[in-house]
Amino acid sequence: MIISHTSAIWPCKTHIGTGKITKFIFTIYCIGYIIYRKTIKNICVIIKINILLVSKLFHMGTKIIFSFLKVSVSILFYLLIAFTVVILLASLWHIANGDTKKLTNFTYSYDAKIFRHGDGELPFSYSADSTIRYHQTPDRYMLQIEPKSSIGYYALISKLIFLCLVIAVLWKFKKIFQETNLNRPFQDSIVRRLKLLAALFIISDILKLMNYFLFNSFLHQSITTPKFQLLTDVGSDLITGLIIWIIAVVYERGAALQEENALTV
């Protein structure tokens, strides 16, 4: 009977010990789980705050850059107007009081080149490590033109036309910056101004090409030999105009989607 009684008690003691261990482990698990949840929650809050802070800083940075560009374009616009007025008044004064028989210090400067066939090319020189080669460009000249002459009158008119074109470009940029709202960026008026801006760049390249032929015509009347040709850059403004036109088309689509979204909401 004693043996039987003893064997009946041991399983009970083992069961009680296992229960205490289980409760202890469960308590540790609960505490760990609570700490884990609190930690994860705090980390999520910190990440959210940092994201909001970065977003605000980025938005503030965008506003600062936008305001800087807006002010810069306005300053350049008015400075260029002042420069154009000074050039015009100085040219008119010189034409009214200048001497057509000799060149003065007030002249218009142009780069020109004599294009030859097969001659005039200088040999290349090489650097010590043979990674660079160079040579002097032959038959390149700087022309100085007296304003009080037929070619001088044309040079003044052409310079004023190009300066007015640049002023018009800056005016369009100035109006675009004034009308742009970062909270509602897509507007039909900006689309129209972007297309006009693209047209101005394309017109600028066309005028450069026309100026090349007209200037050479006036130049060859004064200098028959050698045959100088005006050095001019044609093509870059055309590419710029086409890129701006593509941006305007995409912007126009964005304005349409923004309008549809506003109507849907």
DSSP string for 221-232? HH--SS-EEE--
Q: Considering only CA atoms, which of 243, 251, 242, 214 is closest in space to residue 229? A: 214
Is residue 260 scored above 60 in pLDDT? yes
Q: What is the mean pLDDT of residues 56-61?
A: 58
Question: Taking 70 as the threshold, does the pLDDT of residue 103 lie above it?
Answer: no
> What whole-number distance in Å separates Cα of residue 187 and Cα of residue 12?
83
Using the predicted structure, report yes or no on whether residue 165 has a pLDDT greater than 90: yes
Going by pLDDT thresholds of 50, 70 and 90, the confidence category of residue 29 is: low
What pLDDT is stored for residue 6 in this prediction? 44
Which range (28-32, 94-98, 162-166, 254-258) has the least confidence?
A: 28-32
Q: Is it the case that residue 77 has pLDDT exceeding 80?
A: yes
Residue 60 pLDDT > 80: no
Q: What pLDDT, on a 0 to 100 scale, did the predictor assign at position 220? A: 87
What is the average pLDDT score of the chain? Answer: 77
- 55, β-bridge pairs: none
pLDDT at 17: 53
Residue 72, pLDDT score: 86
Sequence-distant (≥ 6) Cβ neighbours of residue 200 within 8 angstroms = 165, 168, 169, 172, 241
Q: Residue 206: which pLDDT band, with cuts at 50, 70 and 90?
A: very high
| Distance of alpha carbon 214 from alpha carbon 235, whole angstroms | 18
Radius of gyration of the chain (CA): 39
What is residue 5's predicted lDDT score, i.e. its pLDDT?
44
Look at the pTM and tell me if it is higher than 0.75: no
Count of other CB atoms within 10 angstroms of residue 160: 14
The answer to whether the peptide bond before residue 226 is cis (omega within 30 degrees of 0) is yes
Say how many C-beta atoms besides its own lie within 10 A of residue 149's C-beta. Answer: 17
